[in-house]
Amino acid sequence: MLTLHQAGLIATPAIAPLDGTVRPGELLAIVGPNGAGKSTLLSMLSGFRPAEQGELHLDGKRLSEWPIAELANRRALVAQQELPGFDWQTDELVRLGSNPANSLVAELLGDLDLTHLAKRSVHSLSGGERQRAMIARGACQLLSRGSPTAKDGGLLLLDEPTSALDIGQQQRLMRQLRNWAAQHRMAIVCVLHDLNLASTYADRVWLLHQGQRIDHGLPSQVLNPATIANIYAAELQRIEGLPLLALAP
């Protein structure tokens, strides 16, 4: 479990201090307009950018006190448009940084519709295929290296994981993330631009604007047309009977 105690960043881009918890078995969506601080917050949650005020704790221990190798067993980050540095095969990329069982690699490739691409060069993949391969690598890092005494599947942090995917793959990925959260009690945090995906698949939502978390809670509470229209300067309406937001005519 990841907890924040008035954690924030002072230097630009700043993140106003906030309290919060990311729990095992849930999918948390971080949403907000461009420049709201979503990726910066995710970087702080991962420990790559240390909090300049307040504290973050992972499994009850300060995030800054975790040895790097041990932290890699409990936290994985998949950044935006992350490009592999070498011409690995897809299954080799998924194995990167861990020593997984062949069965786990095969399972994750199947989960993300990559089995037929297992022996393909990652440099030959489309943007969406490569994005799914990087997500599989992050999940493999946690599931293959997790502590034998761990009671959950760790913390998976994803920065815009659906940005290169078509609508069908977006839905399949978000369903699979929910499956991983439930099956492995993995805590999953996604930065999302698509409010419909956040509304449909997230257990909770944090809404950011200008470096501040201005609302948080259930998607139905946070993603209401009045708030979103104000924050995004957009004209929206809720479709009756569906958890979706649409452009107003």
CB contact at 8 A, 59 and 70: no
Residue 85: band (very low, low, confident or very high) from pLDDT cuts 50, 70, 90: confident
Separation of alpha carbons 58 and 65, rounded Å: 10
Contact 127, 164 (CB under 8 A): yes
- Please give the angle made by the CA atoms of 184, 136 and 139, to the nearest 5 degrees: 35
Tell me the residue ranges of DSSP E strands in the chain. Answer: 2-9, 15-22, 27-31, 53-58, 61-62, 75-78, 155-159, 187-191, 204-209, 212-217, 236-238, 245-247
Q: State residue 116's pLDDT score.
A: 97
Pick the closest to residue 192 from 41, 67, 14 (CA basis).
41
Q: How confident is the model at residue 95, as a pLDDT?
A: 92
pLDDT of amino acid 69:
87
**pTM attached to this predicted model:** 0.91
> pLDDT tens-digit profile of 65-78?
999 989 999 999 99
Q: What whole-number distance in Å separates Cα of residue 156 and Cα of residue 46?
A: 9
Whether the per-residue pLDDT at 12 is higher than 90: the answer is no
HSE on the CB side for 213, CA within 13 Å? 21
Residue 15: count of CB within 10 angstroms of its CB: 26
What share of residues in the chain are helix, strand, coil (percent, to 5)? 40, 25, 35
Q: Is the pLDDT of residue 42 over 50?
A: yes
| Average of per-residue pLDDT across 92-103 | 89
Question: What pLDDT sits at residue 27?
Answer: 98
Which structural domains are found in the chain, ordered by start?
2-247 (3.40.50.300)
pLDDT the model gives residue 249: 45
The predicted model gives 172-193 an average pLDDT of 96
CB atoms within 10 A of CB 153: 21
For residue 186, is pLDDT > 90?
Answer: yes
The CB density around residue 160, as the number of other CB atoms within 10 Å, is 19
Has residue 133 got a pLDDT over 90?
Answer: yes
pLDDT of amino acid 243: 52
